[in-house]
Structure 1
Amino acid sequence: MTLALAVPVFGPPAAGKTTLTAALGQMPGCAVFRLREHVPETILAATATSAERLGWIDDFTVVTALRGYIDATVQAGAAHTVFFDNFPSTGAQVRFFLMLLEQHAPGCAVRAVELAVDTTTLYRRAFHRRVCHHCERDPIRDPRLPAVPSTDDAQRCARCGGILHPRRGDAPRLLRARIQRYRQTADGIRQAFAAAGVTVTQLDGGASAEQTTKAVTTLLIRSSQP
């Protein structure tokens, strides 16, 4: 199986990137790349609680992780489409991303998607978002994947019954810092893609998860047609 399509999905915190890529990644021949899953625990731990460094990972680590993932995916023939959850997150990362794709998967098409959501919706989602420490065994005990609450008890996980917790990065101080950082880097991401001739499609991340998933699926089908 040849890696034919790469779909970077970016946007502000709580825009629905992880929910979207998780749904799309379940389709046959598809996979999802999340940078933190390919980074040493020591680096993750150093960026977990600082508002200034929250989630920030140095370029050398980013390139090393990305190169290893793309090369392994291509060599294994594991997927024809990869969705990149919240990546790239800077203009420099866009350039690294495109360069590594050209080196390891020449001919792979790129369709960038940006989820746009108003600030009120972002804060509301973050306030209600919960994670499960039991279902997601995060290496630094900082789960990121949104959990589904039980219909009988909204404070418990529908999958395992464990107690749900607020996501650490959704604390007001950290969330403000994350939103501000996205606003500072978003133009650079768009400009880097534009300079490479890659169109960035903006979608309404404020819609339901089902609607957004359908919109991306439709976009990819249309872009694959001659």
Structure 2
Amino acid sequence: MLDGEMVLDSTAVLLVWEVPNYPQYYIPIGDISDSVLRATSEIRRSPSRGDAHVFDVLGRKSIIQGGAWHHPDSPLTDIKDHVRFDWQTMDAWFEEDEEVYVHPRDPYTRIDVLDSSRHIRIEINGETVADSSNAKLLFETGLPTRYYLPKTDVRFDLLSATDKSTGCPYKGTARYWTVSAGGILHENVAWGYDTPLPESRGIEGRVAFYNEKVDIFVDGDLLERPTTQFS
């Protein structure tokens, strides 16, 4: 959707993994109105997908320069007749009748939220900042288990809200906190979702900490800090 209008609609979209973590939509050329794309002279080069011809995207009121591209001679034959739009070009994207946020959902990614009475303790620089036996464990494909704790079990006297926010197509929009512990400020190491998406509703109003950056004890055992893109 762009400028309040549906500008493309397709039941034959390809999911293409340009990077390992999530896919992008590639739209069949035949499913895109001629009035949406305006050719430019720009060429973008990709070692894996070949040269791309760049288009401006035309809405009812907007012109998004360089907002779409097409690889007509790609060595990846499946994408030759498809156009890739910059996600930010559109005001909104929909899968069936549900809006999709941030990037296309990965069909190989699963989210599960489970109740747990395990004793979870969060320690930063030797100082306990959270202690709970009422956690929600969130399992997300490719990431370590995240422990979402009730706010009443978190030492909010050590936390201060920041302006940072991030989006996730499976969980929604997260807000962040900086933690003051051991005489040091640990920026944006805690986060939570005030209004998560339906599949992650169980973590609503709770707080999680980066396993990669804090010490997490589960039933008294210190977990090894994982190495991820958030380390």
Q: TM-score, normalised by structure 1?
A: 0.22
The structure with the largest helix share of the pair is: 1
Which has the bigger relative contact order, CA under 8 A and spacing at least 6? Answer: 1
User: Higher strand share goes to which structure?
Assistant: 2
Specify the structure having the higher radius of gyration (Cα).
2
